[in-house]
Amino acid sequence: MFFSAVVGFPLGYTSIAIKCYEIDMYKNLDNALSDLDVVININNVKSGNWNEVDQEMSELCKSAKGKILKLIIETPLLSYEEIEQVCRIALNHKGIHFIKTSTGFCGKDTTLQEVEVIAKTINGEKGIKVSGGVRNLAQIQAFIDVGATIFGSSSGISIIEEARKR
């Protein structure tokens, strides 16, 4: 059995040092840890502090080395330009394996257009995890069609049941 852990939930406001400490604690708990879903500091993104965003990604990659790192960027709170810029920076960090759309905490669903911006920017160099408002099979198919590769949903059982009926 493997498990995933979330770091910096929900809006990534904890310091880089605290996030790296969280990662180290999870890594030391059990060898079954496979994935880390880490929330980027949304305030730095919204403020256009791109050097700080880049530095955070660099430090997170060092701490998460050997694990799958999914960078949560909280797309429902970002403009398309901010999504694109975060993704461009992430492309410089090989230790980031996925761009994840949302924690599901911000009260707005991830949109198809947000995923399209991610897909266009990363051009297949990283995976895309869509979460935040994924409730049915039709949504999953639409997200796959624009480049999504994995999903997080609290509606997983009903989606599987819907798929089995087809």
Q: What is the distance of C-alpha 89 from the center of its chain? A: 14
CA distance 53 to 147: 24
Phi, psi of 39 (to 5 degrees): -85, 125
Tell me what pLDDT residue 156 has.
Answer: 86
CA distance 35 to 25: 13
Nearest to 37 by CA among 77, 59, 64: 64
Tell me what pLDDT residue 131 has.
Answer: 95
Tell me what pLDDT residue 3 has.
Answer: 87
As a whole number, mean pLDDT of residues 95-109 equals 94
CA distance 116 to 151: 15
CA distance 136 to 47: 34
pLDDT over 80 at 1, yes or no: no
CA distance 98 to 61: 12
Q: Treating both helix axes as pointing N-terminal to C-terminal, what angle do 137-145 and 156-165 enclose, rounded to 10 degrees?
A: 90
- The answer to whether 119 and 113 have CB atoms below 8 angstroms apart is no
State the pLDDT confidence band at 106, using cuts at 50, 70 and 90.
Answer: confident
Domain region containing 66: 3-165
Q: Which residues are catalytic?
A: 37, 100, 129
Average of per-residue pLDDT values in the chain: 95
Whichever domain contains 64, its CATH number is 3.20.20.70
Instruction: Give per-residue pLDDT as tens, 64-88.
Output: 999 999 999 999 999 999 999 999 9
State the pLDDT confidence band at 151, using cuts at 50, 70 and 90.
Answer: very high
State the pLDDT confidence band at 11, using cuts at 50, 70 and 90.
Answer: confident
Number of domains the chain is built from: 1
Q: Rounded to two decimals, what is the model's pTM?
A: 0.94
Which helix (H) or strand (E) segment holds residue 70: the answer is: strand 68-72
